[in-house]
A and B are shown apart, each in its own frame.
Chain A
Amino acid sequence: MPTWQDLQPFLVSGLALGGVYALSGVGLVVLYRATGVVYLAFGAVGAMGALIGWSMIHVGAPGWTGWLVCVLFAGVVTLGYGMLFGPALARRDPLVKAVATLGLTLTLFGAMDLLWTTGGGQSRSLTLPTDSSGFMVGQVQVNWTQVIGLAAGVVITGGTAAFLRYTKLGTAMRAMANDREITATLGVPVRRVEAAAWLGCGILAGIAGLLLADLVALDATTLTFLVISSLSAALIARLASIALTFAAALAVGLIHDLLTPIQALSNYRDMTPFVLAAAALLVISRHRVMSAGRG
């Protein structure tokens, strides 16, 4: 078994990753509550944004333009999808809505495979200036990108909670989560509120894509399927609670990384999001059954 000292670096990397999962999870929850859509293309739009940003930087554009384009691309594509398909799918079953976003995922994934091939040993990386500086916590080196990863999760979670509670648009989103029809009847511009949710979710996808391209890898497959970890956190929170999503995302990141040095479990650590989500759903359903039994 690894010692506490051995585990410390994994704690840092797990928290950083958990922070990015948290901001992704929050984006998924907000969009779901406003539109009823589980956005499975979250990872793919972020991945493509990051690859476009890399391409710009690769041909000599300043770094900040690449990062900006990454975030804008994800925001615009997500907004475009929401505006184009959202109304048509508004009354459909949640499963249909989710599968429709899988179509967008596969389209983007195919395009990335075509445009940014890995044939011939090609490999790419997107590094942020914050990678090269940092500080020591005990024996552990912490770089500023890791700090940003965790801080982004905290700030986005706190900011989104405040936004939903204290702003008019946030109140409208919460109202739509409760009942879309009644909210519309009360004169809330449903389309506009949905558009804001799609755009916000897309921007978060772009930020997550940028951070994960640095913290994990600039690779279409990896980034596309990292949505699973964020989705797991959102599912644990039953696609409702932002605070619980944040906590679950941190747990996914931490447990995943803390299992790494344990030889017997190391190769199973990628199961972490699935196991946690399945366990949480089982507990939730058991709680429901017991509550119903008492009632």
Chain B
Amino acid sequence: MLAAATAMVTIVGCSSTSSTTQTGAGTSTTPTTASSSSGGAAAGAGGTSQCGSKPGVTASGSPINLGSIVTDQPGTSFTDIAYMAQAYFNCVNANGGINGHPISYHIVTEQTNPAQIAADAKQLVQSDNVVGIVGNTSILECTINHAYWEHLGISVIDSGIAPECYSTPNSAAVNMGPRYSSDGAVQYALAQHVSKVVFDQSNVPGTGYIAAGPNALAAAAHVPVVDLTENVPISNANSVAIKEVQDAGPNGAVVLNFTPPEALIILQAAQKLGLEDRVKLWGCSTPCNTDFLAQALGPKWNNKLFVNAELTPPDSTNTPSMQLYKAILQQYGSKVSGGVGSFSQMGFTEAEIAVHALESVTGAYTVTSVNTAFKAVQGFDTGMLCQLWTYGSYPMHIPNNSDYTVTPDNGKMAQAQGCTQISSVDPQIATYRQAAGTAQLAS
């Protein structure tokens, strides 16, 4: 069940801009490499003026229309990602824009309705005249629209969830998504020599696809794995926690793949029943990587829960990119309800890559020029990921395939393990690396 709600609240955020006439004449794109973005890892310390080429000068040229489709329904909302991208673009617009052009960002929300999602894509292209798609984060969007984007030659920069976000030629995500993030969590547990893995996740479409990665890793390590699924919202977390612990045994690991609220209630139930020490360790995919969760759990879970982190831990990092991210969040991110965290980091990174690519376009900003620029991004140091990010012309894209592991540390998430490559034992990772090679680690 994707959402157990009978009522849905639709929040439609859309920017108000007029479209601009695009001409293909004089368009050219240069391949973009390394960390040369004005807003990227090269950004210096202090303030948001670093996010554009002309600090303090409001961009006044014809707008560059970009669009985004995000899921927003009770219990599942990814609007923070698009709102953070919007914040980044607002910052760019206030500091010279892209060669003087402001970015006009059109965000549409959907409620896991396939017809609505398809219509959203057409609205963005036909009514809003967008020339690029940046910041998509949706349970179904990649599945529904990937063929449409391929037909139009639009190369999406997104946060992936559905398998098609990673297995199709025109979608490149900044995150790992549930499968590879679960891979990372299980890989960490296996490295701690657990004798059994219980992998529990929400009972939503695609659980078999997600579980295939962790199962492959456990099989390669000759460790038995038990796959469980839970209907969400969970109606009695106590029984779920008991079942997981019973199945894992004292030297086993329980690895969760849930949204933060669902993961929290399972972990808290375990704590209330005194079960947290009845297994060797607990693991979780990226959604658990929030300070909300660390605060709610308390110190009992320090070095007991290990969470896969797809992006650089914000609390313990003080790089120029991280400073810029926090400064933009503070100045322009009033709509980002979750504040500092994975979701807003993803939005920042997607916008950062898009801006980096757009700055390389010379001539008019058309669908062709913009998406050629997106595809040309290669070896870009976002300052937010373990490794350099590449789009490229590959049949599939898993550009983020190295991760961190974090653990609660008295109300914050602290790094437990540095950058580690997701194992090629997962056949999808192996296929991608065969096509694109292994990306260099970021500096």
A206 at the interface (CB under 8 A from B): no
Assess the B74–A109 pair: CB atoms within 8 A: yes
Assess the A226–B7 pair: CB atoms within 8 A: no
**Residue of B74, B231, B238, B246 most packed against chain A (CB within 10 A):** B238
Give complex CA distance A256, B242 in Å. Answer: 14
Assess the B79–A119 pair: CB atoms within 8 A: yes
Q: How far is the CB of A287 from chain B (nearest CB, A)?
A: 30
Assess the B74–A260 pair: CB atoms within 8 A: no
Chain B residues with CB under 8 A of A261: 242-243, 246
Assess the A123–B296 pair: CB atoms within 8 A: yes
Assess the A143–B236 pair: CB atoms within 8 A: no
Contact of A122 among B6, B265, B338 (CB under 8 A): B338
Assess the B77–A125 pair: CB atoms within 8 A: no
Task: Please name the residue on chain B nearest to A119 by beta carbon.
Answer: B77
Contact of A120 among B4, B228, B239, B339 (CB under 8 A): B339
> Number of contacting residues on B, CB 8 A?
56
Assess the A120–B9 pair: CB atoms within 8 A: no
Give complex CA distance A109, B5 in Å. Answer: 9
Assess the B265–A125 pair: CB atoms within 8 A: yes
Assess the A10–B239 pair: CB atoms within 8 A: yes
Chain A residues with CB under 8 A of B235: 216, 222, 226, 229, 256, 270
Known: A221-B5, A221-B74. A121 touches B240 (CB 8 A): no
Give complex CA distance A125, B262 in Å. Answer: 11
Chain A residues with CB under 8 A of B6: 106
Chain B residues with CB under 8 A of A267: 203, 229-231
Give complex CA distance A247, B242 in Å. Answer: 24
Give complex CA distance A9, B243 in Å. Answer: 9
Assess the B261–A225 pair: CB atoms within 8 A: no
Interface pick from A90-98, A110-118, A164-172: A110-118
Assess the A123–B234 pair: CB atoms within 8 A: no
A86 at the interface (CB under 8 A from B): no
Interface hits, B1-19 → A, CB 8 Å: 3-7, 9
Assess the B338–A256 pair: CB atoms within 8 A: no
B293 at the interface (CB under 8 A from A): yes
Contact of A256 among B4, B72, B236 (CB under 8 A): B236
Chain A residues with CB under 8 A of B9: 110, 113-114
Assess the B239–A14 pair: CB atoms within 8 A: yes
Q: How far is the CB of B52 from chain A (nearest CB, A)?
A: 26
B183 at the interface (CB under 8 A from A): no
A13 at the interface (CB under 8 A from B): yes
**Residue of A10, A120, A127, A222 most packed against chain B (CB within 10 A):** A120
**Residue of A110, A132, A145, A270 most packed against chain B (CB within 10 A):** A270
A194 at the interface (CB under 8 A from B): no
Chain B residues with CB under 8 A of A2: 246
Give complex CA distance A9, B247 in Å. Answer: 13
Interface residue ranges, A against B (CB under 8 Å): 2, 6, 9-10, 13-14, 16-17, 106, 109-110, 113-114, 117-125, 127, 131-132, 134, 141, 143, 145, 215-217, 219-222, 225-226, 229, 256-257, 260-261, 266-267, 270
12 A-B residue pairings within 8 Å (CB atoms): A6-B246, A9-B242, A16-B238, A109-B5, A118-B76, A120-B80, A120-B344, A121-B260, A124-B261, A131-B272, A143-B272, A143-B273
